[in-house]
Amino acid sequence: MKQSLLYSGKAKDIYATEEDEVIISCYKDQATAFNGLKKEEVVGKGRLNNQISSLIFDKLNRAGIATHFLEKLSDTEQLNKKVAIIPLEVVLRNYTAGSFSKRFGVAEGIALAQPIVEFYYKKDELDDPFINDEHVAFLNLATTEEIAYIKEETRKINRLLTAWFSDIGLTLIDFKLEFGKDKDGKILLADEFSPDNCRLWDADGNHMDKDVFRRGLGEMTDVYQVVWEKLQELD
Ligand code: TMP
Ligand code: ASP
């Protein structure tokens, strides 16, 4: 049962439960972009992201990835292991897009010879600045060994996700992950995996992700619904 509200984020509220090490994540019908500058109520988004993220985390658990996901409770709620989130946005890019294309002045959609992992310091007041491994160490966000583990795990997750999305006709362009530590200090994949935090292009190059909202390309729930329907074709 939901108890006190522990944290209210842009896309989710986190509640305590009777169990110390277990929390409930409640997905909201709210979309934001550009660090909250653009913000709208989007009916149905909470349900779609909870469904999509639950399906993907369940598959990752079954593939042997250590995650915080326990079970889906309702349309908009899931049960998660409690972790202390490491304030790092771990981005993996398979193709150029978004801020990478802007930063380096390159077109979007160019395949990278090797996937590139980037770190951003998760701090709204600073607009989540781009940082490197040495900054991660300076900021005491993770040790050298932990950084190596997080990168390796991110690449492993990428191989799984790229194959699953390819099976349903979608190209995984890039994505953002967050990791946290449980009470024993074990690093678990946390947060969510949904079209809010990745880029997915269909065979015609259509955006099937939050870029629809960021760039005003249409109704985000329409494309999230397509992603959800396709994902259910996977076993
Ligand atoms: P970027 O190209 O804007 O840096 O985004 C890279 C990936 O990270 C993309 O899949 C969207 C995702 N992302 C988030 O999940 N949260 C954020 O705050 C930002 C800026 C990007
Ligand atoms: N997640 C950020 C926000 O909610 C930015 C983004 O996804 O574009 O404002």
State the number of CA atoms in the 13 A half-sphere of 227 facing the CB: 33
Residue 175 CA to ligand 1 centre (angstroms): 7
CA distances from 99 to 34, 129, 174, 206 (A): 11, 12, 11, 18
Write out pLDDT tens, residues 116-149.
999 999 999 999 999 999 999 999 999 999 999 9
Distance CA 208, CA 214 (A): 12
Residue 20 CA to ligand 1 centre (angstroms): 31
Residue 127 phi, psi dihedral angles, 5° rounding: 65, 35
- Average pLDDT (190-202) is 98
- Average pLDDT (103-112) is 98
Distance CA 47, CA 8 (A): 17
Two tokens, residue 231: 């994902």
Write out pLDDT tens, residues 45-95.
999 999 999 999 999 999 999 999 999 999 999 999 999 999 999 999 999
Two tokens, residue 128: 């989540």
Write out pLDDT tens, residues 30-52.
999 999 999 999 999 999 999 99
What domains lie within the chain, and their CATH numbers? 5-81 (3.30.200.20), 84-219 (3.30.470.20)
Q: Does 159 score more than 90 pLDDT? A: yes
Work out which ligand 1 atom sits closest to the CA atom of 173. Answer: 10
**pTM, full prediction:** 0.97
What are the residues facing 119 on neighbouring strands? 90, 131
Residue 235 CA to ligand 2 centre (angstroms): 31
For residue 235, the model assigns a pLDDT of 78
For residue 106, the model assigns a pLDDT of 98
Distance CA 26, CA 155 (A): 28
Residue 147 phi, psi dihedral angles, 5° rounding: -60, -45
- Mapped onto helix, strand or coil, the DSSP state of residue 217 is coil
Work out which ligand 1 atom sits closest to the CA atom of 196. Answer: 15
**Burial class, 182, CB count within 10 angstroms (exposed 0-12 / middle 13-18 / buried 19+):** middle
Do the beta carbons of residue 122 and residue 200 sit within 8 Å?
Answer: no
Work out which ligand 2 atom sits closest to the CA atom of 196. Answer: 7
**CB 122 near ligand 2, within 6 Å:** no
